[in-house]
């Protein structure tokens, strides 16, 4: 195992207060792309996702549907579990926070925080958003005492709670931020976390006495833990029971990368590392904060405005790979972006079908027509070799910063380059002239090899299509080491290429 590194990557866990939506699909897909890339590098990846089932967001919606919270959570959790294969997500485990093993572990860890002297009883008085399950501090409140995220009226809460001494972690967090400038990425998110820290930390509620839907506090069973601490701890607790045969905690903790949306930055970059420090546990390496997907008209997606991009509709019309590709190609990961069905169809047509799909079809068709399906065992064109030189390394370096959008752009530049190469070389002309046989061999080998390498690099994004194509190319290896042009003739030499049906067929 020498040289193999463990790589623990997570998504946020979704509230089960409704069905999955595009924002959830986006986060799952992006995280999956990074996890798949890391597996290609040979790393020992563990990819965790799941559902957040306690607290007011779930208790309130359960009540509104006339169900008890557990029945409501069970029903909705199934929809999130079903989403994973629909999106082709390669998660290694799916945690539900109502799992008794999670609850027991939450109690253990928070008991340690209590025993370490970081908890006291006090009176909370302030503004609270039941949709965020968030106690807002003064500078987070919109005029008229409204939630900055949901824009709904905040409730005034006065309750006797157990408090976590967050303020005691001001200096340790400042040190963490100074020592690890990539703790929060991208840089804009780091600035936001530092601004929050810079405004001075106040202690936060650790428990709720008014709520019963949660994990009970071991030293005071009349309280349940505040849902955010229960939820954040999923990243740690899951490792202890994901595999009944082996406790994964030592193997994978601390997490390498938490992928989250911008609305939950404070919890992950401030509360979470402080809580871990209070429990004497190592803090994660990085938190990557992605943006929000908005409608094509730039507005928030809403059913009443009719501008919702429904991931299930895209999958049905264009396939899972099309959705995965579109979201990562259209929106710079880490920024907000506008998305819609029209844009998705356009990219399907112009890029997946006409660029990559067409490159694949014509390469296979020409090899079959001019060389009876055999790949000539000659070296590829030095000019194409130069174009691909260092590409896998550049893609890896971008993934080190979770920049899956720029990585895709680098790959796509080569897809376009190879299509231009076909136009420049005009293999159909070369084929008419026997004296050009060597030129035709070199052209076809270059196309075959280039297409194969690009497919390996595209595998994390569009795994179904790539794996189908690589099978036809007779080169199924998707390890990153295979993403290099073979110097002297194709890896697969002498394969007998079967026909390729269109990877991205025309849709109405
Ligand atoms: O916040 N675009 O759950 P959640 C992009 N349970 N991302 C979006 C989005 C959008 N329009 N809408 C939501 C919670 N998200 C908590 C997390 S983690 C210990 C607990 C993202 O179901 C959102 O930013 O409201 C978050 O990362 C994830 O979806 C789950 O949101």
Q: Which atom of ligand 1 is nearest to the CA of 260?
A: 27
- Cα 158 from Cα 173, distance rounded (Å): 29
Q: Whose CA is nearest to atom 29 of ligand 1?
A: 24
Q: Which residues pair with 256 in a beta bridge?
A: none
**DSSP designation for 482:** G
Q: Which residues pair with 121 in a beta bridge?
A: 162
Mean pLDDT of 406-424: 98
Question: Which has more pLDDT, 228 or 137?
Answer: 228
The answer to whether residue 404 is catalytic is: no
Residue 263, phi then psi, degrees to nearest 5: -75, -10
Q: Report pLDDT for 240.
A: 98
Pocket of ligand 1 (CB under 6 A): 12-15, 23-24, 26-27, 52, 231-232, 234, 260-261, 263-264, 292-293
Given 37, 102, 105, 129, which residue is catalytic?
129
**DSSP designation for 262:** G
**Strands of the 220-225 sheet, one edge to the other:** 207-208, 220-225, 216-217
Is omega for the bond preceding 186 within 30 degrees of 0, making it cis?
A: yes
Question: Which has more pLDDT, 138 or 311?
Answer: 311
Given 24, 103, 136, 268, which residue is catalytic?
24
The answer to whether residue 258 is catalytic is: no
Q: Report pLDDT for 475.
A: 93
Q: Which residues pair with 163 in a beta bridge?
A: 120, 205
Distances from the Cα of 145 to the Cα of 5, 56, 142, 394, 470, angstroms: 48, 19, 6, 48, 57
Give yes or no for a contact between 269 and 287, defined as CB atoms under 8 angstroms apart.
Answer: yes
Instruction: Place 1 in a pLDDT band, splitting at 50, 70 and 90.
Output: very low
Q: Report pLDDT for 94.
A: 98
The Å distance, Cα 485 to ligand 1 centre, comes to 40
Half-sphere exposure of 198 (CA within 13 A, CB side): 8
Given 37, 54, 103, 132, which residue is catalytic?
132
Q: Whose CA is nearest to atom 4 of ligand 1?
A: 14
The answer to whether residue 21 is catalytic is: yes
Q: Which two tokens stand for residue 185?
A: 């990425």
Mean pLDDT of 269-274: 98
On the question of pLDDT at 258 being above 70, the answer is: yes
Mean pLDDT of 293-311: 87
Mean of the per-residue pLDDT values for the chain?
95
The answer to whether residue 54 is catalytic is: no
Q: Report pLDDT for 229.
A: 97
Q: Report pLDDT for 299.
A: 86
Name 434's Cβ contacts closer than 8 Å, sequence gap at least 6. none
List, for residues 2-61, the tens digit of each pLDDT value.
Answer: 578 999 999 999 999 999 999 999 999 999 999 999 999 999 999 999 999 999 889 999
The answer to whether residue 432 is catalytic is: no
The answer to whether residue 147 is catalytic is: yes
pTM: 0.96
Q: Report pLDDT for 494.
A: 59
Q: Report pLDDT for 492.
A: 55
List, for residues 332-386, the tens digit of each pLDDT value.
Answer: 999 999 999 999 999 999 999 999 999 999 999 999 999 999 999 999 999 999 9
The answer to whether residue 132 is catalytic is: yes
List, for residues 77-102, the tens digit of each pLDDT value.
Answer: 999 999 999 999 999 999 999 999 99
Q: Whose CA is nearest to atom 24 of ligand 1?
A: 261
List, for residues 48-65, the tens digit of each pLDDT value.
Answer: 999 999 998 899 999 999
Mean pLDDT of 440-451: 97
Mean pLDDT of 243-264: 98
On the question of pLDDT at 303 being above 90, the answer is: no
Q: Do β-strands 220-225 and 216-217 pair in parallel, antiparallel, or remain unpaired?
A: antiparallel
Best substitution site from 22, 23, 53 to test ligand 1's pocket, by max atoms within 8 Å of Cβ? Answer: 23
Domains by residue range for the chain, with CATH: 6-291 (3.40.50.620), 341-482 (1.10.730.10)
Q: Report pLDDT for 60.
A: 92
Q: Report pLDDT for 491.
A: 62
Instruction: Place 75 in a pLDDT band, splitting at 50, 70 and 90.
Output: very high
Mean pLDDT of 288-306: 89
Q: Report pLDDT for 484.
A: 93
């Amino acid at each position: 195992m020498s040289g193999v590194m463990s790589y623990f990557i997570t998504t946020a866990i979704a509230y089960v207060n409704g069905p999955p939506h595009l924002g959830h699909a986006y986060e799952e897909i992006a995280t999956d792309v990074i996890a798949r890339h890391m597996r290609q590098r040979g790393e020992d990846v563990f990819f965790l996702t799941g559902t957040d089932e306690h607290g007011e967001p779930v208790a309130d919606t359960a009540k509104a549907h006339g169900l008890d919270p557990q029945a409501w959570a069970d029903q909705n959790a199934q929809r999130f579990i079903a989403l994973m294969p629909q999106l082709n997500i390669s998660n290694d485990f799916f945690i539900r926070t109502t799992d008794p093993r999670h609850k027991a572990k939450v109690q253990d860890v928070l008991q340690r925080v209590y025993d370490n002297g970081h908890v006291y009883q006090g009176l909370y008085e302030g503004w609270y958003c039941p949709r965020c399950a968030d106690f807002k501090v003064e500078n987070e409140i919109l005029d008229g005492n409204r939630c900055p995220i949901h824009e709904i009226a905040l409730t005034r809460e006065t309750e006797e709670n157990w408090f976590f001494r967050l303020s005691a972690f001001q200096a340790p967090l400042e040190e963490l931020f100074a020592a690890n400038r990539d703790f929060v990425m991208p840089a804009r998110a780091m600035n936001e976390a530092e601004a929050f820290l810079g405004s001075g930390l106040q202690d936060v509620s650790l428990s709720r006495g008014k709520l019963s839907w949660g994990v009970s506090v071991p030293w005071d069973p009349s309280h349940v833990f505040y849902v955010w601490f229960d939820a954040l701890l999923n990243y740690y607790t899951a490792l202890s029971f994901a595999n009944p045969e082996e406790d994964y905690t030592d193997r994978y903790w601390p997490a390498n990368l938490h992928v989250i949306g911008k609305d939950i930055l404070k919890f992950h970059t401030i509360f979470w590392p402080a809580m871990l420090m209070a429990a004497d546990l190592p803090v994660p390496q990085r938190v990557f904060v992605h943006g929000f997907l908005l409608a094509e008209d730039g507005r928030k997606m809403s059913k009443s405005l009719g501008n919702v991009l429904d991931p299930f509709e895209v999958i049905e019309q264009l396939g899972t790979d099309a959705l995965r590709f579109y979201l990562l190609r259209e929106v710079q990961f880490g920024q907000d972006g506008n998305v819609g069905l029209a844009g998705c169809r356009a990219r399907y047509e112009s890029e997946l079908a006409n660029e990559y799909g067409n490159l694949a079809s014509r390469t296979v068709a020409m090899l079959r027509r001019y060389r009876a399906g055999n790949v000539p065992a000659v070296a590829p064109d030095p000019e194409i070799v130069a174009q691909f030189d260092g590409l896998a390394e550049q893609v890896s370096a971008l993934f080190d910063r979770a920049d899956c959008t720029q990585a895709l752009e680098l790959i796509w530049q080569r897809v376009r380059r190879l299509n231009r190469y076909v136009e420049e070389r005009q293999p159909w002309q070369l084929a008419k002239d026997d004296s050009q046989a060597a030129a035709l061999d070199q052209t076809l080998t270059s196309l075959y090899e280039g297409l194969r390498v690009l497919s390996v690099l595209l595998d994390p994004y569009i795994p179904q299509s790539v794996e189908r194509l690589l099978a036809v190319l007779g080169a199924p290896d998707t390890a990153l080491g295979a993403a290099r042009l073979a110097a002297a003739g194709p890896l697969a030499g002498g394969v007998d290429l079967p026909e390729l049906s269109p990877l991205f067929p025309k849709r109405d």
